[in-house]
Amino acid sequence: MTVPSYSRRDMLSKCGAGMGMLGLAGLLASDNACASTSASDNPLLPKVAHFAPKAKHIIHLFMNGGPSQVDTFDPKPELTKFHGERPKSADLKTERGTGALLKSPFAFQKCGQSGIEVSEIFPEVGKCIDDICVIRSMHTNVPNHEPSLLMMTCGNSQPIRPSMGSWLCYGLGTENQNLPGFVVLCPGKPVVGPQLWSNSFLPGVLQGCHIRNLDPKKVVENIENRFLSSDSQRRQLDLLNAMNQSHRVTREEDNQLEARIQSLEIAFRMQTEAQEAFDVSREPAHVRESFGKGYFADACLTARRLVERGVRTVQVFFGSGQPWDDHGNIEQGHRSKAKESDQAIAALLKDLKASGLLDETIVLWGGEFGRTPASEGGNGRDHNHHGFSVWLAGGGVKGGMTYGATDEFGFAAVENKVHVHDLHATLLHLMGLDHEKLTYRYSGRDFRLTDVHGRVVKEIIA
């Protein structure tokens, strides 16, 4: 078939009625829109894993800003004993000067059959602790938000590298071609912004689809076509694709153009499923009540609805900006944020477990780094990259255990240290991917999520 040449005027006159569909590009993070395509080389088509996976989906509950490990999941009695004194670990470099030791304002309680101690601010999560593995020996490279956010989400502190969600879709595709493979739920813009869910040099279809407003009508308002039938849209879309492909022939590789082409295709398909997937009002009243109210609660419930419909990765940001960044009044700050999230997190875990989805879904909780056990000139804590906690639950993860340890005050990881690269390697392994074989050739070298580092933490794998 010979594709005819079209001028801009020709294209607009023939296709003007459907140009409203291009509004999806804004919804799907501007130029490199998250999308899919009907072509045989569709990057989102399901792929065979390197080996048998223990999980199929990841829900990342991202506590952006950096929650304090010593006030959540890593109790340190020595902080109470030596409260107000100068710490022995004062030579550890953090972002600012190290103050006196600051005891946690929260009591810790032994929870579940495992007896793992959890802060009183997470009573509902504590009831699920037997399904959770707490890694208390995390560490990363620097104590600054921007590079640490990039490291946690993209495996590299330098912008712009592909995000973990993009790598997972690149390696595995997704199970539902009517929805994006990687969805990001965040009510606004976190620090760094869209680079945290970037596809970078991977195909544009793999970029995270950022959803700010969870109202199903708002989600689909840019992709509904009320003026043309489905058949007419299909014919129009085929013509647009033909013209775009003709334009692309003369250009070696254009990720932005490819993303534009693919965004039209997914817009067409999303019309039938997106509104239903994001409509939490379809859930029974008792389910909605179990999650609680507010954006984060609705986002957790939406995350469950998305993974049960085949979405590969869902990243739920606690909020815009850096909400867990409590440099002052850590008691009030952490208590309020835990109150806002505790019920929803526990409900998500219980809901996934009741339906059997927890067996094939990894839930990851944590921030980009932790906080110092010393005060920052008052009752707040500074950034701390030397030691912090995250936890995992679900597919292939041993529940009811802790792994690794920080020192007596919680400054630095000292036992079974786990770098962010190791965490990524472990997550990929649980999803059936060898982190050393998941590569993409770009600019003369093979890139990986884990760069040239990373080990699988086999001790936490069931």
Give φ, ψ of 208 to 5 degrees.
-65, 140
The predicted structure's pLDDT at residue 22: 36
CA–CA separation, 303 and 311 (whole Å): 9
pLDDT over 80 at 355, yes or no: yes
Q: How far is CA 261 from CA 207, 228, 240, 373, 390, in A?
A: 14, 20, 8, 51, 39
Question: Packing angle between helix 420-430 and helix 164-172, nearest 10 degrees?
Answer: 30
Question: Cα–Cα distance between 395 and 57 in angstroms, integer?
Answer: 9
What is the tens place of the pLDDT at every residue in 125-152? 999 999 999 999 999 999 999 999 999 9
Q: Give, as one character, the DSSP assignment of residue 302.
A: H
CA distances to 100, 121, 214 from 124, rounded to whole Å, are 32, 9, 24
The tens digit of pLDDT for each residue in 394-407 reads 999 999 999 999 99
Tokens found for residue 217: 């009508």
Q: What is the pLDDT of residues 151-167, one digit of tens each?
A: 999 999 988 899 999 99
Mean pLDDT value of segment 93-100: 72
- Residue 125 CA to residue 33 CA, distance in Å, equals 35
Structure confidence at residue 18 (pLDDT): 43
Q: What is the pLDDT of residues 240-279, one digit of tens each?
A: 777 777 776 776 666 666 666 666 666 666 776 888 999 9
pLDDT at position 28 is 39
Name the phi and psi angles at 182, rounded to 5: -140, 115
* Domains present along the chain, CATH in parentheses: 41-448 (3.40.720)
- Give the residue-averaged pLDDT of 201-216: 92
- Give 47-62 pLDDT, tens digit per residue: 999 999 999 999 999 9
Cα separation of 22 and 317, whole Å?
27
pLDDT tops 50 at residue 26 = no
- Residues 47-70 as b/e (b if ≥16 CB within 10 A, e otherwise) read eeebeebbbbbbbbbbbbbbbbbb
Greater confidence (23 vs 376) lies with: 376
Q: In the prediction, which pLDDT does 259 show? A: 65
User: What number of helices (H) and strands (E) belong to the chain?
Assistant: 13, 17
